[in-house]
Structure 1
Amino acid sequence: MGYRRRAREQALQLLFSMDLRGEFSEQVKNMFCRVLIPEDERILLFEALVEGVLEHREVLDRTIEQFSSNWRIPRMGRVDRNVLRMAVFEMLYMDDIPDKVSINEAIDLAKKFGTRDSGAFVNGILDSIRKDRESKGGEDPLRIAEP
């Protein structure tokens, strides 16, 4: 498994754990890392994804809801919503990762950790976001939603 894939999986596991507990804190992150990810194995992408999702979670959730028909964030499965948060964060804030790479990685994570339908669900939402971004010349009109 590549280091970027491992970083995404670890970030998903931490975000899922935080979501399950309802506590998105530095304390939970530190405990998770201390127990499951030795410091010498932490990858910068892991840190960027976790910190980015935590910092921009409201914007990410609004963006996801904007492109998901009849699905509010609380109704989504925890795996699906955290995979979506990570992928949308990559798409909006990490210019060095092409949207299609973020989408493919998210689909793979959703299939591995989610339900039988998670891959298609995640793909549908992320592809809608990608198409919207492409139709607007690569601009990120969704960032306007930031407070």
Structure 2
Amino acid sequence: MEPRHKGRELAFKALYSWELNKSTIFADITNIDNESSPFGEDLFTGVIGNIEYIDQILSKNLVNWHINRINKIDLSILRLSIYSLIFLKDIPKVITINEAINISKDYGTDQSYKFVNGILDSINI
């Protein structure tokens, strides 16, 4: 598995755990390998540090939907991806969306990837 993909997956797991108990420390999530952990930890801390701004952008792009209704897995994926779209300009939008879809297919419901794709595709930053 490519180190950046694994880093995204680690960040997703950390965000999901944080969403459930608000006290996750990144290193507690999994056995982190040296190649993936710096990128994953940067993603995690970046999302947590900008969560209010990320949630504002997410809320603006929800149609007839409230952020509190989004299941925690999809919410974690969306936050991670929106952070990437805003702050990691060197990563093309199509790559960010594709990674989000792949994580959604692995961890979300049968419909998660469609929901995540639709929201991320509607965001213009």
Task: Show the counterpart of 2:58.
Answer: 64
Runs of 4+ in structure 1 over 3 Å off: 38-42
Say yes or no: does 1:90 pair with 2:88: no
The CA deviation at 1:76 is 0.2
**Alpha-carbon separation, structure 2, partners of 1:63 and 1:99:** 15
Aligned-residue Cα RMSD (Å) equals: 1.6
Q: Which SS does the other structure have where 1:37 is aligned? A: coil
Say yes or no: does 1:108 pair with 2:102: yes
**Alpha-carbon separation, structure 1, partners of 2:38 and 2:26:** 15
Residue deviations 1:56-88, cap 9 Å, x none?
001111101101112222110111011000100
1:78 corresponds, among 55, 72, 83, to: 72
Say yes or no: does 1:3 pair with 2:21: no
Q: Rg: which structure is higher?
A: 1
The CA deviation at 1:41 is 5.2
Q: From the two aligned structures, give the one with the greater helix fraction.
A: 1
The gaps in structure 2 that reach 5 residues or longer are none
**Alpha-carbon separation, structure 2, partners of 1:98 and 1:78:** 25
Q: Do 2:26 and 2:44's aligned partners in 1 also have CA atoms closer than 8 Å?
A: no
Task: Show the counterpart of 1:50.
Answer: 44
TM-score, with length taken from structure 2: 0.92
Q: Do 2:77 and 2:104's aligned partners in 1 also have CA atoms closer than 8 Å?
A: yes
Residue deviations 1:2-25, cap 9 Å, x none?
11111111111111011111x1x4
TM-score, with length taken from structure 1: 0.79
**Alpha-carbon separation, structure 2, partners of 1:88 and 1:100:** 12
The CA deviation at 1:43 is 2.5
Corresponding pairs, count: 125
Q: Which SS does the other structure have where 2:64 is aligned? A: coil
